[in-house]
Structure 1
Amino acid sequence: MSPNPIVLSIPIFFLLIGIELLIERFTHQKLYRLPDTIANLSCGITQQLSGLFLKIFAVGAYQYLFEHYTLFTWERNALYWLVLFLLVDLSYYWAHRMSHEVNLFWGGHVVHHQSEEYNLSVALRQSSLQVVWTFGFSLPIAFFGFETLDFVLISSLNTLYQFWIHTETIGKLGWFEYIFNTPSHHRVHHGRDPKYIDKNHAGSLIIWDRMFGTFQAEEEKPTYGITKPLNSWNAVFANVSHYVDMQKDLQRIPKWSDRIRYLFKKPGWLPDYLGGYRAAPAVDKAAYRKYETPSGLLLTSYVLFQYVLCLAGTALFLFSQKQADGSDRFTTTENLFITILISVVVVNCSVLFEGRAWVKRTEWFRIVLYPALLIVAVYLNTWPVWLYGVGALYFIISASWFYFICTHEKS
């Protein structure tokens, strides 16, 4: 089983999402939309899968500094844990703040802000690339003698704390608001209204925003999302969309010096001769419409069927990363191959809602390929023969169901 606290918390995440769905049902609020929720979960899946490769690099850098350049030796007492918690949370604040204020870094964080809803599934909408830009902010902690596994544990707990604050079902919390990050504070952070942009970067403690001048109390209800809506449910495109826009801007900038400045200036910056900084526009709440892709019951139920299987398979894969003796169960090549297989499913499930012509072809290819791969794997590994039946049954159900969709319903 994986020792990653975030992976171990997956059942709790889904339990709490289920509770929020019940609250939505009984209070008649509109908190969730299925395509948006699937897109959020898909970004979380791709982030966890990419983390199998990228997080090891980040932790490895910390371990190297700890082994060779640590300046102190600590007794692991209450003070040790308190100081480590404060340093982790402070480094998170600055990494998070710079992810909003540096264009290059924003490309690795924007994924988390793309949803136009605000619910617990948004907490799971994470970028696959953010760690590339932000892991360095926490590396100085290694110089102060905090062991690598302890750092990883506190960092994970800091991330876990932030799950519950992604909800509209909890109002303001009195005195708690002065010290800790809360749903009210974080709703502000996800607002695209000009007064809310680049505010409340806290992880666990809101005190950093109050100290460094980035605090904003929640007043009117925020409009969620980003100033240039993604208008797609595709998790892979979500991770690269900002860099696609950056490439277009860079092609417009003639001077190399300005191109370098563009990378490290705030999102929206352009040289004066190209119009200068593009400030966030005010939101016309009367005219504002969320991205919608209406779909029929057949398609919706089909996507749910495929996605539930994908979630179960992904969870099993992540939980099975380590063997009982602590060694890796899969090679890097095997991890990469399974990651690609899962990524195809999450992209197809999301894009089927968009009705793109190409997704029908890739879905037919997948319906044929995946059972065939299972049958080959059973044969090569002498797995139980009943898995042949599972592969055949999956093919029959998926192929007949999807054929019916393609011939009877616009997708």
Structure 2
Amino acid sequence: MSINPSVIAIPVYFLLIGIEFIIHRVNATKSYNLKDAMTNINCGVVSQITGAFLMVILFNAYTYMEANYGLFHIPMVWWAFPVAFITFDFMYYWAHRLSHEINLFWGGHSVHHQSEEYNLSVALRQSSTQILWTFLFYLPIALLGVDPIVFIVAQGINLVYQFWIHTESISKMPKWFEAVFNTPSHHRVHHARNPKYIDKNHAGTLIIWDKLFGSFAAEEERPQYGITKPLKSWNPVWANFAHYTEIYKNLKRIPKLKDKLRLLVNKPGWQPEYLGGYQPAPEIDPNYKKFQNRTSTRLNLYVIIQFVVIMLTTLSFLYFLTEMDIAQKVISAILIIFSVASFGLLFEHRKWSRGLEVIRIVFMSIGFVYIFGGLNPGFTLLIIALVYLLSSSIWFKTTRQKAVTLST
């Protein structure tokens, strides 16, 4: 069984999201949108599933670098943890900052900024590709000789800390705290698309890095959240490829190889002068309407229940990861990613989304027996799979409604 800390952290995250949601409902605060929150979490699911494969490779690379090229080989003593934590936070700042300033890197990180709301669910909206661009920033920690376990602990603390700052429920922390640490106020600025706030407050835990390197901005007027070119989709898979697709389109428009390379490494919005030059972040349109569309209560309830099933499946996948063979891992990953993509397509009323969902229900039933039957064989699994197949199929049939045009 896996000791993946996500198995413990995810239920805690869901509990805190639920508490914030209830508080906001009681206070009549409109910061949660069903489809947006589910898309945030589904992006996190896709990130966890792909990360289960990528992190093995990247962790092995770190371990190899530390063992063979570490300068000091810092032992696992008490002082190694604060050293690793501060060093990691410093490198995180630069990895994060350059993820905003390099177009190719922004292709990964933009996923985290796509939500037009700001609540704890946004913290779970993570990219599946960002680690490919940012992992190199952490190899100097391996060269310093920080033990891989100490590195993972420092990374985990940094990640967990950042969860609570994705909220509007907290206005300001005490002045001394605001001066040193990243806070909800500082991070709201970071998630804003207001031109004055763009590319500010990149800190993970310590806001001092932004103050030292000139990227700090204090929160003044209430931020408008999201990216300058809204995603307008509830599909977590498309969310991971949207900006890369935009890069590809722009590359095709540029004739010169040198300018193609500059497009990749310059800031988002850069283009050659002969195509109009750099396009800065636009001013906020006071008449702008957030992306939204109507869906029936039956469909919403159906997707919510299926969503819960997939969350439990994801936790099981992470928990039993070390006991699965490669085929079980790959099939599980495909089914989970297929499922969360299908939910997004249903919310968007795509013409072929209903047929795709029927296929998903069938393959989920078969996959459940194949994957978990190998871990815990028994007739009960077959019964559960049949009940899921029949109940989901019958229920889904009752959710049909007239197509609704998505707002723009």
Structure 2 length normalisation: TM-score? Answer: 0.95
Letter in 2 for 1:358: W
For residues 347 and 409 of structure 1, the distance between their equivalents in structure 2, rounded to whole angstroms, comes to: 21
Letter in 1 for 2:221: E
For residues 172 and 166 of structure 2, the distance between their equivalents in structure 1, rounded to whole angstroms, comes to: 13
2:356 maps to which of 347, 354, 362: 362
For residues 2 and 167 of structure 2, the distance between their equivalents in structure 1, rounded to whole angstroms, comes to: 28
Per-residue displacement from partner, 1:3-61 (whole Å, max 9, x unpaired)?
33334211110110011011111111011111001100110000000001111222111
Match of 2:342 in 1: 348
Equivalent pairs counted in the alignment come to 403
Q: Decide which moves more: 54-63 or 16-25.
A: 54-63
Per-residue displacement from partner, 1:103-151 (whole Å, max 9, x unpaired)?
0000010000000000000000000000000000010011111101110
Match of 1:48 in 2: 48
Match of 2:221 in 1: 220
Per-residue displacement from partner, 1:316-335 (whole Å, max 9, x unpaired)?
111222xxxxxx21223321
- After TM superposition, the structure 1 = structure 2 runs for residues 2-401 of structure 1, keeping only pairs within 5 Å, are 2-174=2-174, 175-284=176-285, 286-321=286-321, 328-375=322-369, 383-401=377-395
Q: 1:382 to 1:225 in 2, by over 3 A?
A: closer
8 Å contact kept, 1:348–1:363? yes
Secondary structure of the equivalent of 1:117? coil
Per-residue displacement from partner, 1:62-100 (whole Å, max 9, x unpaired)?
111111111114354443222211100000000000000
For residues 65 and 371 of structure 2, the distance between their equivalents in structure 1, rounded to whole angstroms, comes to: 42
For residues 319 and 355 of structure 2, the distance between their equivalents in structure 1, rounded to whole angstroms, comes to: 32
Letter in 2 for 1:259: K
8 Å contact kept, 1:230–1:238? yes
Per-residue displacement from partner, 1:277-300 (whole Å, max 9, x unpaired)?
00000002x301100011111100
Letter in 1 for 2:158: N
Gaps of 5+ in 2: none
8 Å contact kept, 1:42–1:125? yes
8 Å contact kept, 1:39–1:350? yes
Secondary structure of the equivalent of 1:228? coil
Secondary structure of the equivalent of 2:196? coil
Match of 1:325 in 2: none
Q: 1:390 to 1:74 in 2, by over 3 A?
A: closer
Q: 1:377 to 1:332 in 2, by over 3 A?
A: closer
Structure 1 length normalisation: TM-score? Answer: 0.95
Q: 1:148 to 1:343 in 2, by over 3 A?
A: same
8 Å contact kept, 2:332–2:367? no
Letter in 2 for 1:247: Y
Q: 1:26 to 1:144 in 2, by over 3 A?
A: same
8 Å contact kept, 1:58–1:135? yes
For residues 269 and 113 of structure 1, the distance between their equivalents in structure 2, rounded to whole angstroms, comes to: 19
For residues 374 and 263 of structure 1, the distance between their equivalents in structure 2, rounded to whole angstroms, comes to: 42
For residues 271 and 142 of structure 1, the distance between their equivalents in structure 2, rounded to whole angstroms, comes to: 38
For residues 122 and 271 of structure 1, the distance between their equivalents in structure 2, rounded to whole angstroms, comes to: 34
8 Å contact kept, 1:6–1:156? no
8 Å contact kept, 2:129–2:240? yes
**TM-aligned CA deviation for residue 389 of structure 1:** 2.1
Q: 1:380 to 1:90 in 2, by over 3 A?
A: closer
8 Å contact kept, 2:63–2:148? yes
For residues 375 and 15 of structure 2, the distance between their equivalents in structure 1, rounded to whole angstroms, comes to: 35
Letter in 1 for 2:185: S
Q: 1:162 to 1:246 in 2, by over 3 A?
A: same
For residues 187 and 227 of structure 1, the distance between their equivalents in structure 2, rounded to whole angstroms, comes to: 15
For residues 33 and 89 of structure 1, the distance between their equivalents in structure 2, rounded to whole angstroms, comes to: 32
| Identity of matched residues, % | 48
For residues 170 and 121 of structure 1, the distance between their equivalents in structure 2, rounded to whole angstroms, comes to: 15
Q: 1:142 to 1:114 in 2, by over 3 A?
A: same
**TM-aligned CA deviation for residue 245 of structure 1:** 0.4
